[in-house]
Structures are given as structure tokens and as C-alpha cells.
């Protein structure tokens, strides 16, 4: 009987020793798991934000596609005559005018016979995409200025873009805070300037309906950060093995 009791004592002692070792081995694990849980929660929140941003982007894409379709309908004659081009790309909706549609050679004043076509564009800008910003861009070919009095193609392209801007704002009621103008001169050609046809294509004004700034910083998320945090919240191989063999109540 005494031997049996002694055996029990030895067994309990061994069990306590083993439990003590287990506690020692996993010392600090609760804080690690708390951090993992926190990171997992943050990943979930970021995933929700990402989903909302994707929904907003899809809505924006549909709105811009609708604007493009309406512009294509209103400007069908000019498009068929290859005077205007309307497209949707990563920049937004881009309406490209050959320069001679709007201006006399070497001039920056919008011709009166061009008002009607700008009026069609203004209708879409003010009624269909009234909360989108607008960029007006002037471009020229690579022929140097000789007789028109401009210092360079930069000045001419900038003046033309500004003239279109003023017509949209002053005459058609586009809110000035929505619009900006820039002149690129000859430095953003869309085709080669090696022939007169290419030069004609490069002499242009573009009105761009700009995508809204749903950028990662303002949305409070970074997709790479989501991936990084997800990786941090996933236990390593060593941690997984430790969790599987542990009796610690904090490790489930």
C-alpha cells in the first residue's frame, strides 16, 4: 500500500513537472495570439474597405461608360467625319478634337462654328457627370512656330486649352473648380509627325472626364498591406506545431 502511494506521488510529481515545462515552453504565447487576433481583425476591416472601393470603382466605370455612349451619340456626325474621337481608357473618357475643328491655323480663339459641338460636350459635362473633374489638354505637331507670334508650341497649345476651358466655364456653366487646362506642345504625339496626316492627328485638343480619386491613401488601405498583414496573422509552421501539441488554454 505504501509502495502504491509512493508511486502516486511520483506520478503526480512527474505530471506537475511536465505541466511546468509546458507552461515554460509557451510562456509569452498569449500576447502573440492576441497580436495575431488583432491583425486578423484589421485584415478583415481592410478587406471590407477594399470591397467597398471596388464597388465604387465599378459604379464609376458604369457612369463613365454611360457618358461615353451619350457623347458618341451626340457627336456621331463628327465622329463619322473623323473630326472627333471618343474613347474610354485608364485616363477616363477622352474626347479628342482635331485642332482645325475648333481653331484657325496658328490661332487660339475658338471659332464660332465650333460652339455647337462644344455645346454638346458641355451638356454631358453639366448633366451626366456633374461631379467629375475635367481636364482640357492642348497638343501641337512638331513644326516650330514661325509666323503666328507664339513663342513656342507650348504657348499655343496652352492658350488653346485655356480657350476651351473658358468657353465651358464662362458660356456653358461648368463649375470652374472642376476644370483645369494644360498645354503639352509637341511632346505628347499620338502618331508619327513624319507626314502631314500624322501632324494633323497630333494637332488636337482633348477634353478628359477624369476618374474620381478613389486612391489607396484616401481610402485608408493598401492592398500590399492587406497581404502582408494576412501573412502575419497566419501562424508559422513552428507555431502551428506548438499549438497542436499544447495544453495551454490560450492556444486553441
pLDDT tens-digit map of 197-237 = 999 999 999 999 999 864 333 344 455 554 554 455 444 44
Q: How many CB atoms lie within 10 A of CB 154?
A: 17
The highest-level CATH class for domain 85-211 is: alpha beta
Q: Which residues pair with 89 in a beta bridge?
A: 92
Per domain, the residue ranges of the chain are 85-211
Averaged over 182-200, what is the pLDDT? 97
pLDDT tens-digit map of 75-130 = 999 999 999 999 999 999 999 999 999 999 999 999 999 999 999 999 999 999 99
Residues 155-179 as b/e (b if ≥16 CB within 10 A, e otherwise) read bbbbbbbbbbbebbbeeeebeeebb
CA distance 227 to 110: 52
Band the pLDDT of 41: cuts 50, 70, 90.
Answer: confident
pLDDT given for residue 235 in this prediction: 46
pLDDT given for residue 38 in this prediction: 75
Global pTM exceeds 0.85: no
Amino acid at each position: 500500500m505504501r509502495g502504491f502511494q509512493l508511486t502516486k506521488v511520483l506520478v503526480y510529481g512527474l505530471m506537475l513537472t511536465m505541466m511546468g515545462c509546458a507552461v515554460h515552453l509557451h510562456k509569452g504565447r498569449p500576447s502573440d495570439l492576441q497580436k495575431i487576433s488583432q491583425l486578423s481583425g484589421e485584415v478583415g476591416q481592410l478587406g471590407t474597405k477594399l470591397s467597398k472601393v471596388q464597388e465604387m470603382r465599378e459604379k464609376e466605370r458604369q457612369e463613365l461608360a454611360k457618358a461615353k455612349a451619350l457623347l458618341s451619340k451626340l457627336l456621331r456626325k463628327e465622329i463619322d467625319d473623323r473630326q472627333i474621337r471618343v474613347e474610354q481608357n485608364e485616363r477616363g473618357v477622352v474626347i479628342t478634337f482635331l485642332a482645325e475643328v475648333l481653331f484657325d491655323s496658328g490661332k487660339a480663339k475658338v471659332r464660332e462654328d465650333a460652339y455647337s459641338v462644344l455645346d454638346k460636350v458641355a451638356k454631358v459635362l453639366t448633366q451626366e457627370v456633374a461631379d467629375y473633374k475635367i481636364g482640357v489638354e492642348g497638343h501641337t505637331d512638331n513644326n516650330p512656330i514661325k509666323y503666328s507670334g507664339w513663342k513656342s508650341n507650348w504657348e499655343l497649345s496652352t492658350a488653346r486649352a485655356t480657350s476651351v476651358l473658358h468657353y465651358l466655364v464662362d458660356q456653358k456653366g461648368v463649375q470652374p473648380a472642376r476644370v483645369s487646362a494644360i498645354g503639352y506642345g509637341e511632346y505628347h504625339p499620338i502618331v508619327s509627325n513624319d507626314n502631314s496626316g500624322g501632324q494633323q492627328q497630333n494637332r488636337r485638343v482633348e477634353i478628359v472626364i477624369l476618374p474620381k480619386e478613389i486612391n489607396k491613401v484616401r481610402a485608408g488601405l493598401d492592398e500590399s498591406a492587406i497581404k502582408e498583414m494576412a501573412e502575419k496573422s497566419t501562424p508559422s509552421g513552428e507555431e502551428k506545431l506548438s499549438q497542436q501539441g499544447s495544453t495551454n488554454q490560450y492556444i486553441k
